[in-house]
Amino acid sequence: MKNTITIGIQWGDEGKGKIVDLLAPEADVVARFQGGPNAGHTLIIGNQKTVLHHIPSGILHHNTLCLIGNGTVLDAVELRDEIRLLEDSGVPVAERLRVSDRCQLILPYHRALDAAREVARGAGRIGTTGRGIGPCYEDKACRRGIRLCDLNSRNLDERLERNLKLVNFMLSEYLNAEPVSRDTVEEALALARQHVLPLAADVPMLLHQQRRAGASILYEGAQGTMLDIDHGTYPFVTSSNTVAGAALAGLGVGPNAVEEVIGVAKAYMTRVGAGPFPTELYNAEGMNHAAGKHLAEAGHEFGSTTGRPRRTGWFDAIVTRHAVRINGITSLAITKLDVLDGLEEVKLCTGYILNGRMLEYIPADAAAFAACEPVYETMPGWQQSTYGVTNADQLPQAARHFVQRIAELCEAPVSMISTGPDREHICHL
Ligand code: GDP
Ligand code: IMO
Ligand code: MG
């Protein structure tokens, strides 16, 4: 396999986990480069379901080294729980997983701040996953973060004391929330020492050695391009760069370490949390278009991390083409095609109307993007089931046309079509 980045090119939950798991047997290394336990990547193998938050989606395969890079933020409690679940089902995680010693640690005060800030934002809340992601990246940028390697540092006590003073001032004086105790933080640090520190490694060095030995590397993105802190629907985004370019800085490799970039996209759109979504049809707040309801129900659209219902809508080719361009996508993996089965007609958004003008790009301002009215191309749907189809020639003609039109509008070829949640439900093109 060529060295490949696999990333989401919508608002997350595109089915990245499934695609990475099915490509992993051809890779020697699978590496995560950004995000943290805000991610929820689902793998379905027969009747066994695994949901991964921190651990790369190659973990179920023998002979696959899994790496968590410096660009990620790490919650030791979450990681410990995830390791336990996998080990209980017989996966030797400790043998297969290494974590960068430069990872930033998510500590209890990050979660407390995340929650309190969301409450304070009121109607303007972002709808974060509540995992402390934003405050942890904030500390990193502010140079007061605690990294895995800092657990052995002599001035750790002093730094923690300073951080707690600041955080507790913000919590109690400004956000009207409970302060965090030093004991709670110490417990989290003790867990990190016990369960994560033994897995710590110099990840760029490991990657360098692997690459010299001719290994192929699969880089696994979390979230999606429209949640990228620079290129997404700011401020309704996550706190990291989720684009392909982040794989390099988030692991410590150069641009020549990558040959392919696979963009994973659902055959429709979903979003969890707040923020603009021009093709939205259905949400828990009362938008209730029949096709959107179909997508939510047939697609079981509930968040893998928080269980929140996902908002659903038609495929937006302006969003995905934007993502194709800024990520250098070399091919698309279109997932959940089966979810469209049975719809009389299917739609693709090919532009927006804003203030009476036609747009074929995404306005930078979130309010302007939210005000965009989608312009659709309507195509006939199909009544046959595509569930589990593994040969694209056996897909109904209307489904093949739909996928072909996505490729044309997004200016990228389709290399995979996913027709069900299982590892086996895939057509390679
Ligand atoms: P990720 O965050 O991108 O890895 O995606 P999630 O795991 O959060 O959400 C994708 C959901 O869709 C999971 O429940 C998958 O099991 C499921 N899924 C993935 N591909 C397909 C598909 O082609 N068809 C159907 N019906 N479900 C799929
Ligand atoms: P995977 O990897 C979908 C969304 C949250 C919220 C915004 C900010 O499974 O695709 P955060 O907790 O990151 O500060 O929340 O980003 N979000 C995701 N949505 N899939 C994800 O990950 C997400 N990770 C964060 O819902 O809108
Ligand atoms: Mg997910």
Q: What is the CATH number of the domain that holds 155?
A: 1.10.300.10
> For atom 2 of ligand 1, which residue has the closest CA?
13
> Would you say the pTM of this structure is higher than 0.75?
yes
Looking at the structure of the chain, the number of domains it has is 3
Tell me: do 244 and 278 sit in the same domain. Answer: no
The per-residue pLDDT for range 241-278, each reduced to its tens digit, is 999 999 999 999 999 999 999 999 999 999 999 999 99
Contact call for residues 238 and 223 (beta carbons, < 8 A): yes
Q: Which ligand has its closest atom nearest to the C-alpha of 311?
A: 2
Tell me: do 257 and 329 sit in the same domain. Answer: no
Distance from C-alpha of 292 to C-alpha of 350, rounded to nearest angstrom: 18
The angle that helices 108-121 and 156-169 make with each other, rounded to 10 degrees, is 20
Structure token digits, residue 414 = 């389709």
41 catalytically annotated: yes
The per-residue pLDDT for range 338-369, each reduced to its tens digit, is 999 999 999 999 999 999 999 999 999 999 99
Mean pLDDT of the chain: 97
Tell me: do 11 and 30 sit in the same domain. Answer: yes
110 catalytically annotated: no
Q: Which of 195, 210, 231 is the last residue of a domain?
A: 195
Tell me: do 209 and 305 sit in the same domain. Answer: no
Tell me: do 186 and 139 sit in the same domain. Answer: yes
Full 3-state SS string of 122-165: HHHCCCCCCCCHHHHHHHHHCCCCCEHHHHHCCCHHHHHHHHHH
- Domain of residue 170 covers 104-195
The per-residue pLDDT for range 219-246, each reduced to its tens digit, is 999 999 999 999 999 999 999 999 999 9
Q: Decide whether any atom of ligand 2 lies within 6 Å of the 39 Cβ.
A: yes
| Distance in Å, CA 224 to ligand 2 centroid | 8
Residues 6+ apart with CB under 8 A from 44: 18, 50, 421, 422, 423
Which range has the worst mean pLDDT, 18-22, 184-188, 300-304? 300-304
Burial of 295-309, coded b for 16+ CB within 10 Å and e otherwise, reads bbebbebebbbbeeb
Q: What is the CATH number of the domain that holds 421?
A: 3.90.170.10
Catalytic residue, candidates 21, 41, 110, 139: 41
Tell me: do 285 and 344 sit in the same domain. Answer: yes
Q: Decide whether any atom of ligand 1 lies within 6 Å of the 418 Cβ.
A: yes
Q: What is the CATH number of the domain that holds 79?
A: 3.40.440.10
Tell me: do 153 and 212 sit in the same domain. Answer: no
- Ligand 2 atom index nearest CA of 274: 27
Q: Which of 11, 57, 110, 223 to mutate to test the pocket of ligand 2 (most atoms within 8 A of CB)?
A: 223
Distance from C-alpha of 345 to C-alpha of 8, rounded to nearest angstrom: 25
Distance from C-alpha of 298 to C-alpha of 192, rounded to nearest angstrom: 40
Tell me: do 278 and 349 sit in the same domain. Answer: yes
Tell me: do 254 and 272 sit in the same domain. Answer: no
According to DSSP, the β-strands at 414-418 and 73-74 are unpaired
Contact call for residues 54 and 32 (beta carbons, < 8 A): yes
The per-residue pLDDT for range 39-65, each reduced to its tens digit, is 999 999 999 999 999 999 999 999 999
Tell me: do 351 and 269 sit in the same domain. Answer: yes
